[in-house]
């Protein structure tokens, strides 16, 4: 190493040290901002797009939009979503898959949003509730379909067919028709 290279590297090192000290000095004299959490919960501004916990979307009647297609479960990169389904008989004789249990492990979620963006019925969304501190890991496993499932409306039964033999029987004018027991 020549003397010229030595002094060039020495001046580069001193220049780098001065730049670092300038950043540190600037932070030293700037005013400090301290969040007074949890005292400022009422005025705390959480960004609208903040991803905290996954929730099912319910309508005003208490029904969720989930059709149990399992798209969110397949697209979850680390398997935090688990869906249990059951088959129900419809009034028209067909079978339909219904959501039985939707569990979500908040502790292993990466908050990537793939489940929300790929849901075909827009049944999932992220809430802004960021306070999820618990003492046990098991408490982070949440069941999202917490409202009881409403039963499908059953159509009214068809009226019983009327026996046409009784109606067609003629009545003689001097005979009284038999009264039917109710």
| pLDDT tens sequence across 13-68 | 999 999 999 999 999 999 988 888 888 888 888 888 889 999 999 888 888 889 99
126 and 70: one domain?
A: yes
CATH of residue 61 = 3.30.70.3270
Number of domains composing the chain: 2
| CB distance 86 to 145 below 8 Å | no
* pLDDT for residue 136: 94
26 and 67: one domain?
A: no
* pLDDT for residue 102: 93
137 and 64: one domain?
A: yes
Q: Is 100 among the domain residues?
A: yes
Residues 6+ apart with CB under 8 A from 86: 97, 98, 100
* pLDDT for residue 108: 92
What's the domain range around 76? 54-143
Q: Is 39 among the domain residues?
A: no
Q: Is 107 among the domain residues?
A: yes
Q: Is 75 exposed, middle or buried (0-12, 13-18, 19+ CB in 10 A)?
A: middle
66 and 133: one domain?
A: yes
Is the pLDDT reported for residue 149 higher than 80? Answer: no
Average pLDDT of the chain?
84
20 and 95: one domain?
A: no
Q: Is 155 among the domain residues?
A: no
71 and 17: one domain?
A: no
Structure pTM?
A: 0.61
């Amino acid at each position: 190493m020549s003397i010229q290279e030595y002094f060039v590297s020495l001046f580069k090192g001193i220049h780098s040290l001065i730049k670092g000290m300038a950043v540190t000095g600037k932070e030293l004299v700037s005013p400090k901002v301290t969040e007074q959490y949890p005292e400022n919960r009422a005025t705390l501004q959480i960004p609208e797009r903040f991803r905290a916990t996954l929730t099912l979307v319910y309508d005003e009647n208490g029904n969720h939009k989930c059709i149990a297609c399992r798209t969110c479960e397949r697209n979850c990169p680390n398997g935090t979503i688990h869906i249990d389904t059951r088959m129900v008989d419809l009034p028209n004789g067909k079978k339909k898959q219904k959501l039985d249990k939707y569990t979500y492990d908040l502790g292993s979620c990466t908050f990537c949003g793939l489940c929300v963006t790929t849901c075909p019925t827009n049944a999932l969304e992220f809430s802004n509730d960021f306070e999820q501190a618990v003492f046990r890991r098991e408490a982070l496993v949440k069941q999202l379909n917490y409202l009881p499932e409403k039963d499908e409306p059953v159509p009214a039964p068809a009226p019983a067919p009327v026996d046409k033999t009784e109606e067609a029987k003629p009545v003689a004018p001097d005979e009284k028709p038999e009264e039917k027991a109710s």
